[in-house]
A and B are shown apart, each in its own frame.
Chain A
Amino acid sequence: MFDRVVRLGALLTVLFILGPLVVIIGASFTTTPFVAFPPQGFTLDWYRQLMGKPDFLRSFLDSVLLGVATTAGAALVGIPAAIGLQHSGVRGRAALRSFVLAPLTLPTIVTGVALLQFYYAIDLDAPLAGLLAGHMLVTIPFYVRTVGAALISLDPSLQEAAESLGAGVLRTHLRVTLPAIAPSIFAATTFVFITSFDQVTISVFLSSPDLMPLPIRIYNYIEFAVDPMVAAISTVLILLSFAIVAVMQRLLGLDRAFIGGGN
């Protein structure tokens, strides 16, 4: 009896989690002009219509560009910071670390409006740079946390050996430390790209009609219309995320990837 109740509860939760996603995927194939589930008939028209929307396509490319730039920027700033914060000679490491991880605790909407009025005050007229800084702010902590965790489990004698053989700090880390923690860096990179690509709350305050990442394009669209074309683009995004995870699973193993993801 008890076990049955637990199993039933678990099943209901699974249905609650998957239900809406299944509805979206199903509804993207409906022949009706409105969202219907189960779908009526089968058509790929909504996907075809999506291809004919240049603004959605451009937003997709903008999101990819922004995601790549964010990943590169956050890695360049975050990975050295994680290595530096690991060094016992650095004073006030704990305080610095909490400072660097702060964007994870601060509500994203607050960071969004803070940047919005800051850019207005300094008269920044560079939408890409503005969005990039916002995205980096919320992704640098992932690198610091993941790389930091990997460094703790790294055998310190590796670095000592390299240094005692006469390698400088830079050389030691480029040739010894980084290759040793490559899987964690790879996992963090994937996670950072997805986070940037999916970012909504900060982007909503910083986008302009000229530069509108895909999630914001969809957001603006569904504020006024709920038609099956959005179901089609949502399906594309759902499949894309699962494809990325599947690739990670093949290359890394999922448990490692999720640990790397920091959750």
Chain B
Amino acid sequence: MAGTGTAAPIDARHKGPKGAPGSLAAYWAMILPVVVFYLLFLAWPYLALLAMSLYRFNSTTLYTPTFTLENYISVLGDGFYISLLGSTVLLGLGVTLATLLLGYPLAMAIVRARPRMKAFLLIVSLSPLLVNLVVRTYAWLVLLGDKGIINAWLMSLGAIAEPLPINNNFVAVSLGLVHVTLPLMIISLVGIMERIDPSLLEAAESLGAGPWRILSRVHFQLCLPGVGTGSLLVFCSAISAFVTPRLLGGNRFSTISTVIYEKFMFSLNWPLGATLVFLLLAINFAVIAIHGRLFREH
């Protein structure tokens, strides 16, 4: 395409976007740094972590480099880790359901709103993403703590005499995680609702369906791909989150992530921690695979 006709010596070197071999080499040179960087700081550390999960724990030298599957066998055969797995998955499901219930009406309101109101609601919905994770979690710590605001209110009203134990449990961690992950759900829902053809809803209405019926039989069905994407994002973030469960769960509620942190930073059982890492990754990939199967045709 380029340089037809007037074949000046200069433009003979570059023949359009497909380019001469020399220019292709230049494009490879642009990609090379990122590949080297990723091999060094992503691929190598992950492979080393995989090897670590196969090592044997040693209390004096951290680990003995002998390959064995005993960490995996002991994790999968231990009631503590099985129930840890169960409560982590349950947490993920609870948070996903809650973000869906909270996010759905707000997403509907955003899609229906006039431009100014829409901009305002979008900023509000996304604002948690701009606030530091530690700060957001601190806010819940302040609300839910033993000397926290909710307990102080209830005690000053005389409703309770002793602080309610609303901190360091499943509910506290769920509330914090819902607050953290809600924007992901809202973005996915708004994205799909914007694409719904209003004539489909009008057709249902003219056929005599009431608003609730339209919501469950038409609107929600049309939103399913967005619900799927949002749920995937929220679930994976919730089960992999560490800061929020750590601060709001304290010593009384653990997830796989908080135990990984504990194994790497305090009890220094790195082989076991690495094994839990691959358990966590396995759940993540399983959920991604399930999502792929369910929403393949969309």
Contacts and interface: CB of A to CB of B under 8 A. Distances in A.
Given A113-B264, A223-B247, A263-B126, A78 B135 contact: no
Q: How large is the interface on B (under 10, 10 to 19, 20 to 34, 35 or more residues)?
A: 35 or more
B106 interface: yes
Contact of A133 (B41, B141, B241): B41
Contact of B141 (A169, A201, A226): A226
Interface stretch (B6-14, B69-77, B79-87, B194-202): B6-14
B1 interface: yes
Nearest to A170: B26
Contacts of A153: none
Nearest to B4: A164
Interface in A78-114: 78, 80-81, 83-85, 87-90, 96, 99-100, 102-103, 105-111, 113-114
B27 A109 contact: no
A66 interface: no
B37 A136 contact: yes
Interface residues of A, number: 96
Contacts, number: 285
Interface in A113-135: 113-118, 121, 133-134
Given A24-B138, A117-B45, A219 B14 contact: no
Interface of A: 1-3, 5-10, 12-14, 16-18, 20-21, 23-24, 27, 34-37, 76-78, 80-81, 83-85, 87-90, 96, 99-100, 102-103, 105-111, 113-118, 121, 133-134, 136-137, 140, 144, 156, 159-160, 163-170, 194, 198, 200-201, 204-205, 215, 218-219, 222-223, 226, 230-231, 234, 237-238, 241-242, 244-245, 254, 258, 263
Given A168-B14, A218-B134, 12 more contacts: A9-B102, A10-B109, A23-B143, A80-B34, A84-B31, A111-B45, A118-B41, A137-B42, A163-B17, A163-B19, A169-B26, A234-B135
B211 interface: yes
Given A17-B182, A21-B127, A35-B142, A163 B31 contact: no
